[in-house]
Amino acid sequence: MADHREYEELLAAYALDALDPAELESVRVHLDECPVCQAEAEILRRTAGSLALVLSPVAPAPALRSRLLEAARRSVNLDGAAAPTNGAATGVDGAGDPALAPPRLQLLTTAERELPASVAGSREIPRSRLGVHLRWALVFAAVLLVALGWTFTLQRQLDEQTRLAARLQTELAEKERALALLSSPSLVHMDLAGDQSPRASGRLFCNASSTRGILVVDNLPALSSSQVYQAWLRRGESRVSGGVFSVDREGYGHLVINAPEPIGQFQAVGVTVEPAGGSPAPTGNRVLAGAIDYGY
């Protein structure tokens, strides 16, 4: 009976279903009696299962496969005769009959399966060494998967923080511009009254030569997520969008208007209800309106 160390070396092949029937039965008997190997076998099986989900086989390009096969043939020709295949020099029963020979561990790539028998036989690795290599490979793969997952999580968090920082920077710049406007000595304000809701009101802060103004509204009804309020600047029969905004549960909201021309060149300002995202021209009910009058 093999000792405990030899069973440990076979566990990786067991996790990959790569044992021959005799070894498989022997390992199963040992696992029934050894809790330590049971735990390790379970870890290796789960790791192998994770690899099966993450990694998919990739067929080599025809030109690359041809070069690999040719290089292998040249290597055999340079090294001399290849090592005897299983059973050819051991004298065991059935050595010359492939049907009676013990099955080999099937870990060859598609290109390796196409090698001549002399080349394939020379590449066999002792089962004990192969088991150790497989165990370490599975452990390394598990660590690699954890590291990749951790890296992905950190990258996602970094992206979120970057977006948040950009948004806060934009909001800060907007507030600084609004503060500069409100501090202007030439600042004036115009009142807006509600068309359909008498309690609704608004006020536009601006100066005649600036393209920027601040609209503050109060007591407007809160809208559904599919609608927004949109401000409009009117000159004659044409209307230019001043931007979209929403209000809180108390009906309060504000908007920094960036007009294409100085606000003093427009005659009136109004607010309508529009679909989410806004409209190129007014389509909904008007809820606020007021004249732009600088008193001169």
Question: Is the distance from CB of 264 to CB of 290 less than 8 angstroms?
Answer: no
User: Which pLDDT value is given to residue 105?
Assistant: 38
Query: Could you give the CA distance from residue 16 to residue 102 in angstroms, rounded to a whole number?
Result: 17
Query: Could you give the CA distance from residue 285 to residue 194 in angstroms, rounded to a whole number?
Result: 11
3-class SS of residue 253: strand
A 10 A CB-CB count for 222 gives 12
Task: Split the chain (296 residues) into runs of 10 and give each run's mean pLDDT.
Answer: 66 74 85 82 68 52 63 57 42 42 41 47 50 64 72 82 85 74 76 85 88 91 94 94 94 91 92 95 94 72
Query: Could you give the CA distance from residue 101 to residue 99 in angstroms, rounded to a whole number?
Result: 6
User: Which pLDDT value is given to residue 64?
Assistant: 57
User: Which pLDDT value is given to residue 95?
Assistant: 42
A 10 A CB-CB count for 264 gives 17
Phi, psi of 260 (to 5 degrees): -70, -15
Q: Which two tokens stand for residue 287?
A: 């809820």
- In CATH, the architecture of 188-291 is Sandwich (2.60)
State the alpha helices, DSSP H only, in 80-126: 110-113, 117-122
Cα 15 to Cα 40, 55, 158, distances in angstroms: 10, 16, 37
CA atoms within a 13 Å half-sphere pointing along the CA-CB vector of 225: 0
| Range(s) within the chain of domains with CATH label 2.60.40.200 | 188-291
Query: Could you give the CA distance from residue 286 to residue 273 in angstroms, rounded to a whole number?
Result: 7
User: Which pLDDT value is given to residue 138?
Assistant: 66
User: Which pLDDT value is given to residue 291?
Assistant: 92
User: Which pLDDT value is given to residue 63?
Assistant: 64
Cα 16 to Cα 10, 33, 157, 167, 286, distances in angstroms: 10, 21, 36, 50, 71
